[in-house]
Amino acid sequence: MGHISRYETEVLIIGGGATGTSIMRDCALRGIKCMLLDKNDIASGTTGRNHGLLHSGARYAVTDSESAHECIQENKILKKIASHCVDKTDGLFITLPEDDLSFQSTFIHACSSVGIDTQKLTPEEALKLEPNVNPSLLGAVKVPDGTLDPFRLCASNVLDAKKYGAQIFTYSVVQSFIRAGERIIGASCLNVRTNEKFEIFAHEVINAAGIWGKNICQYADLDVQMFPAKGSLLVLEHRINELVINRCRKPADADILVPGDSISLIGTTSEEIDYSEIDSLRVTDQEVNILIAEGAKLAPILEKTRILRAYAGVRPLVDVSGGNGRNISRGIVLLDHAQRDGLTGLTSILGGKLMTCRLMAEMTTDVVAKKLGNNSPCTTHLQPLPGSVETADKQPQKKTALTSKAAAYRHGEKAVQLFDQSAKGKSIVCECEMVSVGEIEYAIKKLDVTNLVDLRRRTRLGMGSCQGELCTYRASGLFCEYGQCSGHDSSKLLIHFLEERWKGIKPVLFDDALREAEFTYWIYEGLFGAADVTLLGTAQNDEKKEYYEI
Amino acid sequence: MKFDSIIIGGGIAGYTAGLRCLEAGLKTAIISNGQSALHFSSGSIDLLSHTPTGKIIRNPEAVFEKFAREFPEHPYSKVGKEIVFESLDWYKKILASAGIPLTHQENGDNHFRITPLGTLKSTWMSQPYIYQLPVRLEEHQVQRIIVVQIDNFRDFNSKMVSDNLSQIPEFKDIKIKNVSVSIDGFSGLKRNPCELRSIDIARILSDDHEISLFAEKLKKIASPDDILILPAITGNGDGLAVLNKLHQLTGLTIHEVPTMPPSLLGIRLEEAMSRLFINNGGALLKGDQVTKGDMAEDGDTLRLKSIYTRNFKEMPLTAANFILASGSFFSKGFKAHYNQIKEPVFDLDLNTIEERKSWHQEQFFSQKSHPFLSIGIKTNTAFNPMHKGVVVNNLFCTGSSLAGYDPIAQGCGSGVAISTGYYSVNQMLNNSGVNR
Amino acid sequence: MNIAQNSFEKCIKCTICTVYCPVAKANPHYPGPKECGPDGARLRIKSLDYYDQALKLCTNCKRCETACPSNVNVGDIIAVARGKFEKKVINPKLMRDFILSRTDLFGTLSTPFAPVVNKITDSQIIKTVMHKTIGIDKHKALPKYSQGTFRNWFKKNAPDQEQYPRQISYFHGCYVNYNDPDLGKDLLKVLNAMNIGLKLLNKEKCCGVPLIANGFHDKARKNAHFNVKNMTEAVEKFNTPILSTSSTCSFTLKQEYPHVLDVDNSQVVDKIEYITSFLLREFMNGNAPKLKEINKTIVYHTPCHLERSGLAIFTIELLRAVPGLKVIVLDSECCGLAGTYGFKKENYDVSMKIGKHLFETIKNSDADYAITDCETCKWQIEENTNLKTIHPINLIAQGLTA
């Protein structure tokens, strides 16, 4: 065991999802020193594994008016502070012949009572707005739904927080809490990439680990009951709808179709799973089936559209009854463990939604700031995130390279000015999503990127039609240049990335996804011999060789 | 329209069969639905580098009989040693006549080629500017390797090549160096020169002046004893002429390494075969797709009478014999539906796997072969397929339409394509008395 | 209906199309069919900011589609995008594009004064002026007009066609009507020798291909509706096949109408046929005219649109059926003119570079004629090789005995 680094801070945040990074930003803006820890990359848990839907709240209006109210408030805030993460598409709630049309008026009434604007449309009007919506619809209601890119949101939170002195440790796990009597005063941590141990001492620790929050509480010998629910989604090859399409009925499986950036998403199924399964989610054939069949009811074209991949996330539902009463909340659960369990120094923020991440951060930071004696007010709802500061020159100039337009869309105009503007900087690496060398350099150097999967979350690299076939080799090479990687290490990043892509392709390995996979395999294994990279350098590999002789 | 033989598919198997048919004096057509997978191939001919059980084969000829006994379902075992080597010899002659001399080790060993990741892949017969490393690697004679990075070229990374090469124990004592070289023709382009593909660079370098400037730069960084690793960016449609010129100008030992698509090494083979086929009087129906066929009962068997295509609509194409060389999924020789894999034109019987989740391995780069790569058409020993269990007597299957082997894991794709293409025409000629 | 709308998603990013694009080959400024076609189509759904003006460099030759192993209508995708999003800038070049693409309008205006018009457009001074003002390249000779149209000649001089037991309808197109009525006359001879009569359509307009190529899709769509209406009438009234002697007109009537212009031609599409497939079928069914030996050597050039239709084989086999004729099939490649493309000053060099290999092969061939199915290929080959270039029908007519 070598030297163990020690860090001191006011607040240690565990979990780099939407909530954790929002808390990080909130603390930083209030002048509270903080550090954030995630066992993986930011936005790699539930945050990055949902629809990316900017709810108007309409979906909850009838069943859960409190959530609906929170959503519409946050919807308005995020449109202002995170415009580069938001696409203001609007959404439709459609009534199909099998649905009860009378629900529509209940729905509209519920929406207006929480302040969600609605507009009732005839089928013709709906089809005009959204030509791919199921033409047999009986009616539709337009609401201010949109899309929210969770990766960009988290990255911008971190970028802003770092500007005010916050620090982030990705790929780092908590191994145990450091206690002083009935007080948590820090955590012993391990960087799983480098295997280095380190300790962070903090006045307050915030558990924002989502579904993994139960584990974190266990480190403090506290018991929190969580009920993980798996939700699976499919990624379609391109954007088949311009507006979010929902069913105007009580929420059910596979009834939201979201146009996310260059693709569309259909989801989600819902299945309770055992807590032990949360790290090994699999999308089953049956779920794929349901998603296609139900999705085609929203937009019939979906049935004929190429599917790129499937993925699943876990909803972090919390039992708030304290016992086995199974009073499960879908809302925000803020646990002050000093009050609840008599353990000071630890606060858990659990449950909630991507939509309410800022609000959850505000609530949590309010509690923790008070403990620290910090009286600064929350400003996260007022100050735009980096990337949304300058929206004035949204109109790209004619001569602008396509990669710069794409980058401006992802990072805001201001960030793009930081990119390498040379021919090389502007040149395309990922042809499907127009990711340039300059954007990759920026991400590696400024956005805490350590591998190609992280890079994908910051840039959309490898998220398009070919799922990394053309860009993986090119991009991994750039890690030699900008990421201080050896050529051998960058080859390993290549394999790591293609394996990660493969996870999502497997459940939909038919039709063009299979053609694409065969093609990718020919190139990377048949032509490039990639599988051998992992064997290289392991000195013994020669002895494993078995020769076929007469 | 009437032909003696019609070949469905214009890849290496299809052209082999087509050229053999023309040699036999048959009126022959090839129908190809787009260009073939040769466009992403190494341009070397793989014969057999691994057994289906994963053991390494160093000399395919030496172990052939044993292999055939042990793996009787492998296409090679059905073709037989004599025809396999006869076909490769024939292929070598044909390609030499088209200006592409292929060579292999005199003792029949496989050899290694260097990949764009700096790993080694075993193959059997290669184009002139592939440096053939001995498969018994400790016997190599290499002193120094210079890896050329073309400035601003995205699709080849010299650092990955050199760093991985230096991890190979047998190369421990070799000097491996990276050198950047610029191409003058890049400057002054209105389009971003950093976005050029291999084929675009090949077009620039087909200019005599450009190639001599490039040669001057190479001469400064390497000497003839070095292995000079160059990405395959020269010698496009005009075959190897540009590369010969570069060699002449520099006197260096050039080792071409394929790049990200397109791979010029593979394109050379396809262009050479296609030109030969047309010059020898073959009918090439490009960009057309066979949609269906008419079968008739013929004793206990079936006979394919005619086929229909997208372009010819209701006008049938008839022939005495047909060869199916339509490749695998990429070339649409098979189609994977949600719950089953099918041969889309004739609905031929496949060695299919029922459950979709068993089509693949958990890992993409698994040490075990992906089952979908071995899915193919079930045939008799003459490579006649079956439709609902009944043999189709005048249709012959070749190359990756065949079941029973994994072209990548076993390193035998092009060898199987050539030998089964060749063998099928033999079978067809034997049968033709019956069929006409 | 419109295949181009969805076929882009079939693209698995293999890059093969970039190898076979004649423009990318000769013009390194063109990003190539992959980026302009399927990649771009996907991104343009998200935002029109991704429309790239470089799409106008596409010649619409469709060789990308012939090469594509995934059945992506790459060329159609580009053409449709140009039709939707290309911005017309008002300048002298727009005037030129207007003139070049209104083949029937200017044909109608010019044929009555053909000798004068031809002389004017042939004069060096006028060429220089056109080069400098509207950007028609000075190296190019504009197509010569005939004195009087084929249509008028046919009405006045054609022998009674009702005497033949079978009839076909002939879509003559602008070229035969205004520039080369002799080709129409040759067709009449050949068909009549086969005991088949020829009818004209009641009316026809330019098939629309030059309009599509120059981005005037609305006008092209009008022509398409007009032509479909007239063809439908012919089919309903006489149930005749509709034949064309232009590989490009027939390709446009059959494929560009539904794929690029979104015009429904399903009622007539199976009736439309390029002449050589009709003739070869007749020949094979025993209805060949008597042909004398033509002891000549010809080189055959495959036009892009015939290649895309997959029908070059019929012309080749038809030529091989001519007694005595030695047929050399050239490598199939674009001649570079691509309809109106090569006439434009800004494209001239690229056009010549695309055609260079073809011209050199033809010059070294010692052939008596070059043969091709497309009128614009003919102009390009004749202008750059000095070898007389004729249509397959011209050759068959030469061989007729009576």
Span B145-152, average pLDDT: 97
Token code pair at residue B257: 């390494």
CA of C354 vs chain A CAs: smallest distance (Å): 26
Give the angle subtended at the CA of A474 by the CAs of A470 and A475, to the nearest 5°.
Answer: 105
Domain end (from C257, C281, C305) = C281
Selection from C389, C364, C379 nearest residue C300 by Cα: C389
Q: Which of A506, A531, A542 sits opposite B169 (nearest CB)?
A: A542
Interchain contact, A237 vs C39, CB within 8 Å: no
pLDDT, residue B432, reads 61
Are A465 and A237 a contacting pair, CB within 8 Å? yes
Among chain C, residues having any CB pair with chain B shorter than 8 Å are 12, 14-16, 18-20, 24-25, 28-31, 65-71, 270, 277, 280-281, 284, 307-311, 313, 316-317, 329, 331-332
CA dist list (Å): B55 to A28, A413, B161 = 59, 56, 26
Q: Which of B46, B157, B229 to mutate to test the interface with A (most CBs of A within 10 A)?
A: B157
Residues C306 and C275 in one domain: no
Domains of chain B: 142-262 (3.40.50)
C-alpha B20/C-alpha C372 separation (Å) is: 30
Residues C339 and C361 in one domain: yes
pLDDT, residue C108, reads 85
Residues C241 and C264 in one domain: yes
Are C248 and C376 a contacting pair, CB within 8 Å? yes
CATH number of the domain at C300, please.
3.40.50.10700
pLDDT, residue A399, reads 66
Residues C77 and C102 in one domain: no
Q: Which of C49, C72, C74 to mutate to test the interface with A (most CBs of A within 10 A)?
A: C49
pLDDT at residue B237 is higher than 80 = no
C-alpha B226/C-alpha B255 separation (Å) is: 10
Total domains, chain C: 4
pLDDT, residue C100, reads 85
- In whole angstroms, how large is the CA radius of gyration of chain B? 23
pLDDT at residue B435 is higher than 50 = no
Q: Which of A480, A499, A510 sits opposite B159 (nearest CB)?
A: A480
Interchain contact, A465 vs C42, CB within 8 Å: yes
Residue C43 touches partner A, C-beta closer than 8 Å: yes
Residues C192 and C272 in one domain: yes
C-alpha B431/C-alpha B425 separation (Å) is: 10
Chain B neighbours, 3+ Cβ pairs < 8 A: A, C
Is C29 inside any structural domain?
A: yes
Residues of chain A below pLDDT 70: 1-2, 322-328, 391-399, 538-543
Token code pair at residue B62: 């030496």
Residue A167 touches partner C, C-beta closer than 8 Å: no
- Ranges of CATH 3.30.9.10 domains, chain A: 86-147+227-313
Interchain contact, A532 vs B169, CB within 8 Å: no
Token code pair at residue B199: 């084929």
pLDDT, residue B436, reads 39
Identify the burial level of C160 via C-beta atoms within 10 angstroms of its C-beta, where 0-12 means exposed, 13-18 middle and 19 or more buried.
Answer: exposed
CA dist list (Å): C166 to A142, B417, C194, C196, C232 = 61, 49, 10, 5, 18
Residues C275 and C374 in one domain: no
Selection from C48, C57, C67 nearest residue C23 by Cα: C57
C-alpha A206/C-alpha A372 separation (Å) is: 13
Residues C296 and C246 in one domain: no
Is C141 inside any structural domain?
A: no
| C67 Cα distance to chain centroid | 19
Interchain contact, C310 vs B311, CB within 8 Å: yes
Give the angle subtended at the CA of B415 by the CAs of B411 and B417, to the nearest 5°.
Answer: 115
CB pairs under 8 A between A and B: 183
Span B204-216, average pLDDT: 94
Residues C248 and C267 in one domain: yes
Selection from B5, B1, B9 nearest residue B343 by Cα: B9
pLDDT at residue B236 is higher than 80 = no
Token pair 């001191």 is found at: A8
Residues of chain C below pLDDT 70: 1-5, 402
Residues C64 and C129 in one domain: no
Is C71 inside any structural domain?
A: yes
| B56 Cα distance to chain centroid | 21
pLDDT, residue C5, reads 62
- Ranges of CATH 3.50.50.60 domains, chain A: 5-46+151-225+322-372
Residues C296 and C388 in one domain: yes
Interchain contact, C43 vs A434, CB within 8 Å: yes
Give per-residue pLDDT as tens, C107-119: 888 888 888 888 8
Interchain contact, B40 vs A523, CB within 8 Å: yes
Residues C105 and C16 in one domain: no
Within 8 A of A480 by CB-CB distance, chain B residues are 157, 159-160
Residue C10 touches partner A, C-beta closer than 8 Å: yes
CATH superfamily label, A86-147+227-313:
D-Amino Acid Oxidase, subunit A, domain 2 (3.30.9.10)
Is C341 inside any structural domain?
A: yes
Residue A239 touches partner C, C-beta closer than 8 Å: yes
Is C159 inside any structural domain?
A: yes
Interchain contact, B33 vs C15, CB within 8 Å: no
CATH superfamily label, A5-46+151-225+322-372:
FAD/NAD(P)-binding domain (3.50.50.60)
Residues in CB range of A329: below 8 A, 6 or more apart:
A317, A318, A319, A320, A351
C-alpha C110/C-alpha B316 separation (Å) is: 45
Interchain contact, C8 vs A238, CB within 8 Å: yes
Give per-residue pLDDT as tens, B245-283: 999 999 999 999 999 999 999 999 999 999 999 989 999
Quick one: closest CA in B to A423, which residue?
A: B192
Instruction: State residue C243 phi and psi, 5-degree precision.
Output: -105, 150
Range of the domain at C270: 150-281
Q: Which of C12, C311, C316 sits opposite B311 (nearest CB)?
A: C311
Quick one: closest CA in A to B330, which residue?
A: A515
pLDDT, residue A391, reads 58
pLDDT, residue B355, reads 86
Q: Which of C28, C309, C332 sits opposite B200 (nearest CB)?
A: C28
CA dist list (Å): A160 to A82, A378, C89, C95 = 12, 15, 44, 54
Residues C383 and C295 in one domain: yes
Give per-residue pLDDT as tens, C133-176: 888 888 888 888 998 999 999 999 989 999 999 999 999 999 99
Q: Which of B40, B117, B120 sits opposite A491 (nearest CB)?
A: B117
Within 8 A of A437 by CB-CB distance, chain B residues are 194
Q: Give the long-range contacts of residues B205-210, CB within 8 A, separation 24 or more.
A: B205/B233, B205/B234, B205/B242, B206/B236, B206/B238, B206/B242, B208/B245, B210/B183, B210/B184, B210/B185
Interchain contact, B39 vs C14, CB within 8 Å: yes
Within 8 A of A464 by CB-CB distance, chain C residues are 42
